[in-house]
Structure 1
Amino acid sequence: MASLEQLTFQNPYASLPPEFSVRVRPAPLAEARVVSVSPEALRLLDLDEAEAQRPEFRDVMNGARLLPGMEPVATVYAGHQFGVYVPRLGDGRALLLGEVRNAAGERWEVQLKGSGPTPFSRMGDGRAVLRSTIREYLCSEAMHALGIPTTRALCILGSPEAVYREEVETGALLVRMAPSHVRFGTFEYFAHTEQTGHVALLADHVIARHFPHLEGAPERHTRLFSEVVDRTARLIAQWQAVGFAHGVMNTDNMSILGLTLDYGPYGFLDDFEPGFICNHSDHTGRYAFDQQPRIALWNLACLAQALLSLVPEAALRAALETFAPTYSAQWQARMRQKLGLRETREEDRGLLETLLARMAESRTDYTRFFRALGHFDASPQADNASLRAMFAAPEGFDAWAALYRTRLAAEGSVDAERRERMARVNPKYVLRNYLAQTAIARAQQGDFSEVDRLRAVLSRPYEDQPGAEAYAEPPPHWGRCLEVSCSS
């Protein structure tokens, strides 16, 4: 393992023309202390937990000390927010320190989120509150453990510094990492300001660093867009399969690498509700759970428009037309795995849709049902009483179970083997809103132990963890209808 001082930083993004970013010195939080660290994320920088205990680690992550090679910049981007184009957004409270290459050859950008105002703060204070910082920290690491592409969260710094939102809250800082933080909105900014040369420069920067197999290739920009479409379709299929609602799928929150980016008012499904809205500011349901595939395609169309100076319109349209079949195939494949099916059959789509309709009617707990389905007894005489009890109309489940039993028999499924397969793809633990809120409430009282405990449980979502069964329970009454806002 390395020490902080052994890390070699550089900031290739800062070497792009000045129109891409603004150099800003971080404004460290007052009386900051490291309150939680992800050991898994630490290892991505070749660091260990002992290194995170050093005062030097706190100072660097607070922006109070810059290591050689760090060049903090706030990047500019635009974006469609709730369908309305906003011409200039940018990092209003985030600073990209630079990039580290680890021993495995991976490149990780390190970004401070909550490090003070920037020229893009739009009258904001540039701070983050403890509440939203904990939510992003926990969910970033939980999504990674689920196998879903995401930005990573290295650590949280807490502070008694007051931050004013709907009420006075305490400040915090998140250290976030990703191979790249470039967004759809980064391309939109240069396209809509008619800086087409910078659109090309940005595309070539992304290709050189993240799609090197496309460098020098004919139609490299066309192929770049096609790969972004593919990655995005696969990402959304994973969201839908695990029951994750992002909540704010603005184009400035869409990663060019197909990562889950910017955790605001997200939510995992409790009761299965296709139209679940996790953002209390989303009055029209634009970003409801069942709308996410449609919105992802809409956002890709916005990116396509931004690339018109590089790629022929016909080629962009052709790439966009691959989204729906790719998404559908990926979603069905993942849902087939969740049902423990090994083969692909034409009737599987109907089997899935019938099940989801019955679950929606009964508001069946999404995560708990699929985890429990692994214990389905396929023998003809079995009544699967515990599964029946999860439906308000058990006869609806019985009718579906008969179809499922026949489908399993058709491929010679063995219950014990199927159970093992299903346990590897149906998580027992997800970050339900009430779990996050419990950890936040304790942290706001100065006790961060629940943040660490919850992060540890969520780092092994597919394992039965003795003593952690309570984290797999459905929400209590108070936690069933929690409203989550964009305020952060």
Structure 2
Amino acid sequence: MTLHDLRFDNAWAKFPDDFFTRVTPTPWSGTRVLDVSPLGASQLGLDAEALWRDEDEHATLTSLMAGRKLLPGMEPIAQKYTGHQFGSYNPALGDGRGLLLGEAVTDSGFVDLHLKGAGQTPYSRFGDGRAVLRSSIREYLAGEAMAGLGIPTTTALAVAVNEEKVMRERVEPGATLLRLSESHVRFGHFEWLYQRQRPEDIERLAWHVIERHRPLLREAEAPFEALFEDTVTRTADLIAAWQAYGFVHAVMNTDNMSLLGLTIDYGPYAFMDRYQPRLVPNHTDAEGRYAFNQQPGVALWNLAVLAQSLTPLIDVERLRAILDTFEPRLQSTYADYMRQRLGLAEKWEEDHALVSSWLALLEKHSADFHGAFLSLVDYDGSQASFADVAAALECEPDDDALVQWLRHYTDRLAQEPRSRQQRHDAMASVNPRYVLRTHLAQSVIESAEAGDSEPLRTFRELLADPFTERPDMDVWQQVPSRNAPPVNLSCSS
């Protein structure tokens, strides 16, 4: 199938006119596609190799990324929504630099094609509506990394650079990203309608989500309650995965929360290097509202805001009861993730203490989060494997806390039904060897800005399959040194 074979059913463009504004993408000059994602292509039923090598297909993709061409059936719109930013309600939000080009119909469902960096919209709030190469590459790689880890996320079909110069903290190359998602419906869409006192449209939007994305809920006794329960469950599972894999979103505003439980709107995010529970990679978050260890509480706060927006449809006591399921679900899912990472197949009540003391060890020694877990994959209780774990934590082998923890861990493994090889294979399949570390992403960005996109493709391939070790790829496993400056990103990242 080719790009021109895509069919579109643009339900959002059929909503009332103030749900969106029709905007034509701004054409950019000198656009060049840097990479095409096999994952993104497969989501649309396309062939990534054809998009890259076939002259006509590549030209069509380039024109689409440049804002110079639309596919038949596309109806580009900028969506209107609002939301709470750092705890304060902002009524002026909406798609400020991206356009929903169309909603493609695929064999497995619907896929939004959303062009980021498409130019100014009525919701740009004095911004230029452009995207820079730095942020576009970071989001492109983030989608690949999260999908590779099995964490729900938006993805992208391709990333492109153009000849435009864009001013952020410095003058940077302009870029576009063709983002893909089952839907872009946000908590903020419901907030907007609630604040405008439009209960009929809240109901209309809720039915749209059910009919289009959660059709099994149509037969529920209370479909709107079932939809909110679905969102709470998926959000709890999402945050559990973030915490288990050391991901910090850094801008968990309600308008950046997906009703479908997807990771969306990658800005100053970071994957943990050395374990810091209070990691705040966003330099504008002076109070640490969106620190790593605050994410579960923020997610619940955001869900409470969504619940308030749904009060025209659902009884308040039912909303509270559903919200009460969030923490138990998150804790249970998080525990499952951490058992998997530690190689534990059975569930023991004592595992919570084992996990907590392990994380305390990592914090005490400022150990590399992912490297520490990897050191346990080959652990067999021998002195050699004991020394390997100590080396990963960069501490002495006779460290009392480590000695005590490894004794408990060894005893716990002895109670497991699986063989050592089975445990090894299971742990190797959930503990990534290749992680989207900020300094590695920066090296890819610098290469791309210099005209070399090969590191981008290489890193994307590794992140898409992060558990398989590749020969001669050690450079992509490097950990920042202890004296490396802290991760300090801006929202333009």
Q: Residue by residue, what CA displacement relative to the aligned partner does 1:302-321 show, whole Å, maximum 9, x if unpaired? A: 10011011110001000000
Distance 1:383 1:98, change over 3 A: closer
The residue number in structure 1 matching 2:284 is 281
The Cα of 1:202 is off from its aligned counterpart by 0.8
Aligned residue in 2 for 1:437: 442
1:153-200: CA deviation from partner (whole Å, max 9, x where unpaired): 111111110111122111100000001001101110110111221111
Partner of 2:388: 386
Aligned mates of 2:280, 2:7 — CA distance in 1: 43
**How many angstroms does 1:456 deviate by?**
1.1
Tell me if structure 1 keeps the 8 A contact 2:36–2:51.
no
Query: Displacement, 1:432?
Result: 0.2
- Within the candidate set 67, 82, 106, 2:86 is matched to 82
1:475 aligned residue (473, 477, 480): 480
CA distance in 1: counterparts of 2:280 and 2:19, whole angstroms: 34
Which is further off, 473-482 or 189-198?
473-482
Structure 1 153/478 Cα, relative in aligned 2: closer, same or farther at 3 Å?
farther
Q: Does the 8 A contact of 2:9 with 2:105 survive in 1? A: no
34-43 or 406-415: which moved more?
Answer: 406-415
CA distance in 1, matches of 2:428, 2:385: 21
Q: Which of 78, 94, 105 pairs up with 1:101?
A: 105
1:361 matched residue in structure 2: 364
Q: 1:478, CA displacement in angstroms?
A: 7.4
> What is aligned with 2:490?
485
Contact 1:391 1:397 in 2 (8 A): no
Contact (CA 8 Å) 1:272, 1:364: kept in 2 or not? yes
Q: CA deviation at 1:100?
A: 1.4
Q: CA contact under 8 A between 1:10 and 1:98: conserved in structure 2?
A: yes
Q: Which residue of 1 aligns with 2:347?
A: 344
Matched residue, 2:121: 118
SS at match of 1:22: strand
1:63 corresponds to 2:67: yes
Candidates 196, 203, 215, aligned match of 1:200? 203
Q: CA deviation at 1:216?
A: 5.1
> Does the 8 Å CA contact 1:429/1:458 hold for their aligned counterparts?
yes
Cα distance in structure 2, aligned partners of 1:335 and 1:221:
33
Shift of 1:355: 0.9
1:88–1:189 contact (8 Å) kept in structure 2 = no
Question: What do residues 252-295 of structure 1 show as CA deviations (whole Å, max 9, x unaligned)?
Answer: 10000000001000001111111111111111111111111111
1:401 alignment partner, one of 383, 399, 406 = 406
**1:42 deviation in Å?**
1.1
Contact 2:378 2:385 in 1 (8 A): no
Q: Does the C-alpha gap of structure 1 residues 157 and 179 become closer, same or farther in structure 2, counting only changes over 3 Å?
A: same
1:303 equivalent to 2:302? Answer no
Instruction: Specify which of 390, 395, 416 is matched with residue 421 of structure 2.
Output: 416
- The answer as to 2:185 corresponding to 1:186 is no
**Letter of the 1:451 counterpart:** L
Q: TM-score, normalised by structure 2?
A: 0.96
Kept in 2, the 8 Å contact 1:433–1:479? The answer is no
Cα distance in 2, alignment partners of residues 476 and 153 from structure 1 = 31
Give the match's secondary structure for 1:324.
helix
Amino acid in structure 2 at the alignment position of 1:51? L
**Is 2:454 the partner of 1:452?**
no
240-249 or 383-392: bigger deviation: 383-392
> In structure 1, what is the equivalent of residue 271 of structure 2?
268
**Alpha-carbon spacing, 1:454–1:478, altered in 2? closer, same or farther (3 Å):** farther
The DSSP-based 3-state class of the residue aligned with 1:215 is helix
Matches within 5 A, 1:175-254: 175-215=178-218, 217-254=220-257
Which structure 2 segments of 5+ residues have no match?
A: none
Q: Distance in 2 between matches of 1:445 and 1:383?
A: 43
How far apart in 2 are the matches of 1:174 and 1:458? 18
For the residue of structure 1 that corresponds to 2:102, the secondary structure is strand
Answer with 61-70 or 139-148: which moved more: 61-70
Measured in 2, the distance between the counterparts of 1:207 and 1:304 equals 17
Q: How big is each residue's C-alpha offset from its partner over 1:414-452, in whole Å with a ceiling of 9 and x where there is no partner?
A: 322211110011111110000000011111112211111
Q: Residue 249 of structure 2 contacts residue 269 of structure 2 at CA under 8 Å; is this kept in 1?
A: yes
In the alignment, structure 1 residue 14 sits paired with structure 2 residue 18: no
Q: Secondary structure at the match of 1:162?
A: strand
AA at the equivalent of 2:465: R
In structure 1, distance between residues paired with 2:359 and 2:108: 43
Q: Quick check: 2:277–2:292 contact (8 Å CA) kept in 1?
A: yes
- Contact in 2 for aligned 1:100/1:107 (Cα 8 Å): yes
Quote the sequence identity (%).
Answer: 47
Give 1:167's aligned residue: 170
Q: Is the 8 A contact 2:148 2:466 kept in 1?
A: yes
Write the distance in 2 (CA, Å) between the matches of 1:446 and 1:236.
Answer: 37
Structure 1 residues 339 and 317 mapped into 2: Cα distance closer, same or farther (>3 Å)?
same
Alignment CA distance shift 1:311-1:6 (3 Å): same
> Aligned Cα RMSD in Å?
1.4
Q: TM-score, normalised by structure 1?
A: 0.97
Q: 1:105 to 1:415 in 2, by over 3 A?
A: closer
Give CA deviations for 1:337-392 in whole Å, capped at 9, x if unaligned.
1110111011110111111111111111110110111111135x666101112243
Q: 1:143 aligns with which of 127, 146, 163?
A: 146
Compare 151-160 and 404-413 and name the one that shifted more. 404-413
1:107-131 alpha-carbon deviations (Å, 9 max, x no partner):
1110000000001011111100111
The question of whether the paired residues in 1 share the 8 Å contact of 2:29 and 2:66 is answered with no
State the one-letter code of the partner of 1:50.
A
1:63-119 deviation per Cα after TM superposition (whole angstroms, max 9, x unaligned): 2111221000000010111111111200001100111122x3321110000000001
| Number of residue pairs matched by the alignment | 485
Cα distance between partner residues in 1 of 2:413 and 2:3: 53
Aligned AA (2:275) = F
Q: Secondary structure at the match of 1:56?
A: helix
Conservation of the 8 A alpha-carbon contact between 1:270 and 1:475? yes
Alignment partners' CA distance in 1, 2:479 and 2:217:
46
Task: After TM superposition, give the deviation of residue 44 of structure 1 in Å.
Answer: 1.6
Q: Could you tell me how far apart the structure 2 residues matched to 1:214 and 1:39 are? A: 32
SS in 1 for 2:27: coil
